[in-house]
Amino acid sequence: DEVDVTDLEIFRKEQGKAFAPQGAKLTLTAFILKATAGALREFPKFNASYDEHAAEIVFKDYVNIGVAVDSPRGLMVPVIRDVDRKGLVTISKELREIADRAREFKLDVAEMRGGTFTITNVGALGGLFATPMINWPEVAILGLGRLAEKPVVRNGQVVIRKMLPLFISFDHRVIDGADGARFINRIAVFLENPLNLLLVS
C-alpha cells in the first residue's frame, strides 16, 4: 500500500525543533516504530511466533521491534524493546544510538535477540518495493519503500503529496491476507493522523 505522510512530515519537522534540545533526532522511522507498535497491540497475531513442534502460536506480551541496519559488514537487526511503552523522544534516541552502534559493529549479541517483529527500509537505498524475508522465529516483517512526492486525487483535485510505500511479508500458518491488509491499513491510519500517535501506549 501507499500511505500519505504529507501531514506527518510537516508535523515531524515542526516538532523536531522541540526534540533537538533533548538530544533526539525525530525521524520518520521513529514514527513508523510507534505506529507499528500500536498496530501490533491491536493485531497480536503479528506479534507472535510459531512453535512447529507443538503446532501452536505463541503470543508475546511485549513489543520488541527489530530495525534492519545496513552496515559495512552486512545486514544487522538491533532490537528496540517495549516500543509500545515508550514515547517518541525515547524511541528516537534509542534508534539513533543502536543504529550508530550497528554501523560501527559495536553491538552486543543480546541487542539483536528477543525481537517480536522487524522493520526494514529499502527506501533508504532508493528502493520502491521489495519482498522482505521474515526474521525467524517472528511471523511477519514490515518493509518501507522510498518516500516520494506524487500526484494524487484529493476532493476531486490533483495535488502533490508525499507518499510512502509499505509492504509486508507474513507466515500464512499464522496470518492470512485479510489480516495483512487490516494490519497495514491500521498503520496507515496512525501515520496519516500523526497526533493519534501521541495516544498510542
The set of catalytic residues is 172
| DSSP string of the chain, one letter each residue | -EEE-HHHHHHHHHHHHHHGGGT----HHHHHHHHHHHHHHH-GGGGEEEETTTTEEEE-SS--EEE-EEETTEEE--EE--GGGS-HHHHHHHHHHHHHHHHTT---GGGGS--SEEEEESGGGT-S---PPP-TTBSEEEEE---EEEEEEETTEEEEEEEEEEEEEE-TTT--HHHHHHHHHHHHHHHHSGGGGGG--
Whether residue 47 contacts residue 60, with contact meaning beta carbons closer than 8 Å, is answered with yes
Burial of 9 (C-beta count, 10 Å sphere; 0-12/13-18/19+):
middle
For residue 36, the one-letter residue type is T
Beta bridge partners of 119: 67, 142
